[in-house]
A and B are shown apart, each in its own frame.
Chain A
Amino acid sequence: MSVKRLTLPLTEKDVNSLQVGDKVLLSGVMVTGRDAAHKWLVEGYRIEVKDILKNGAIYHCGPIMLKKGDRWKCLAAGPTTSIREEPYLSEVMKNYGVRCVIGKGGMGEKTAEALQKYCGVYLFAVGGAAVVYAETVESVEKVFKLNDFGVPEAMWVLKVKDFPAVVSMDSHGGSLHEKIETQSKDSYKKII
């Protein structure tokens, strides 16, 4: 299968061209955000991050960062479980215009609907493969909320090149996670 190269921020056309199962290489600037960040993003409109999120990508990731002099280096940056952000993500997409969500494990119905409604895509990264993804980080551009949230929960602005991922939920209502879950339920009935 061919690999699609995408540059952030994404256009509506970029997103609509993607389908479940597509392999992509993502380049440009993305921002990490997980539990504390999503809660913060919906509890008010956060002007400081609006530009970075507009048509941009949120990466569900709590990286290991090391400060060398006045620069940060990203040592390990694999995805965290996305479903914990299910209560917040549709609102984050609506309020900030986020088009791309990267994480592991997939998300629920509310997000699936939001991906269709606001034209977004969910990209799947391999859990635990932290060095592979950290190696795609060219530079750490900025960080938001480091003092309040701590290293794992802060919003790190990462410039990446050829970040590999697979489309597992698309803007047309397709979901790989739902398909596998349904199949495994059938197998479950057979073995129990």
Chain B
Amino acid sequence: MKPLQEQDLTKALVDLIQRASCDLPDDIVNKLAEARSLEKEGSSARSVLDTILQNIKLARKLSRPICQDTGLPSFYISYPSEISPEKIKACIENALIIATDKGYLRPNAVNPLSGKNSGNNLGEGIPSLEFNEWKRQAIKIKCLLKGGGSENVSAQYSLPNTKLNASRDLKGVEACVIDAVMNAQGKGCAPGIIGVGIGGDRISGYETAKKQLFRPLDDQNKNPELNDLEQRLYSKLNKLGIGPMGLGGKTTVMGVKIGIAHRIPASYFVSIAYMCWACRRQEMIFDLSDK
């Protein structure tokens, strides 16, 4: 295996952040175009989707951030045992500084006590990093930029829930997801993608939900029961009529993706990670093999 050239990794990471911020994945763009074709000429929904599609094109052409809220940068890293995660972390931090300087990211790290913005997207708990060792001679890094609008409407429920008449079963899960999307209305920048985590604790539940957002929109859940639930929820949520940006319309969500985490007997959480239409997810492989 080749030794890690930190400068090269940093450069590749800046490219990854640029792609994530400025270039939306094709499956999302295609789905937005499909949503546009379903709406009547002259309707608010159609005009909102026209603006969204025009924006995606412009951002790609000018290499500018699709949305000014580039969120809290999250990275999921798979690395071989020979490479130190600390070194990778340092490269990610450098890449964030460079990407912020170049205007691919908005400086988004604010100290909650002083209100000061660090100016470079570094701070306590920022960026969010998850490391997993793997057997390949390469580093895989997935990047997700999720803005505050959609993060603010994300939600977590503890079942049973009297108000929603929701028990500890998939019907209960369904009630939670529909409630969260109802409460979000247009505020999470619909049409959204709904990541759901069933089970876990308060932290792993949200993590499970958030990780679902990396699944392509046409991805089928391997678990038939969850696959059915995803499709059922997709169809029900799109009957709510909230529509693009909450101005009414046929497409309220572009996808529902559900994962599970084992829970303890006392807890049953349903965690919902609402992702805006600008689902800025990208990944890269940094090859280290000798070949």
A150 with B241, Cβ < 8 A, contacts A105-B185, A132-B55, A177-B246 known: no
A152 to chain B, nearest CB (A): 6
With contacts defined as CB atoms under 8 Å apart, how many contacts are there between chain A and chain B in the complex? Answer: 163
Closest to B110 in A: A150
A104 to chain B, nearest CB (A): 7
CA distance A148 to B114 in the complex (A): 10
Segment with Cβ contacts to A, from B60-68, B83-91, B256-264, B266-274: B60-68
Q: Interface residues of A, CB < 8 Å — how many?
A: 52
CA distance A151 to B118 in the complex (A): 10
Provide the main secondary structure of the chain B interface: loop
Once the chains bind, are B175 and A80 in contact (CB under 8 Å)? no
Once the chains bind, are A130 and B52 in contact (CB under 8 Å)? no
A128 with B240, Cβ < 8 A, contacts A81-B149, A104-B186 known: no
**Pick the contact of B189 from A23, A76, A128, A183 — CB < 8 Å?**
A128
**Pick the contact of B276 from A65, A128, A184 — CB < 8 Å?**
A128
Segment with Cβ contacts to A, from B6-14, B101-109, B281-289: B101-109
B44: chain A residues within 8 A (beta carbon): 21, 166, 176
Once the chains bind, are A124 and B187 in contact (CB under 8 Å)? no
CA distance A66 to B101 in the complex (A): 8
CA distance A21 to B52 in the complex (A): 18
Closest to B147 in A: A128
CA distance A152 to B117 in the complex (A): 9
B78 to chain A, nearest CB (A): 29
CA distance A135 to B64 in the complex (A): 11
B contacts, CB < 8 Å to A: 42, 44, 47-48, 51-52, 54-55, 58-59, 62, 64-70, 102-103, 105-108, 110, 115-117, 119, 147-149, 152, 175, 178, 182, 185-187, 189, 236, 239-243, 245-248, 276-278
A-B contact pairs, 6 of them (CB 8 A): A106-B246, A131-B65, A149-B115, A152-B68, A184-B242, A190-B239
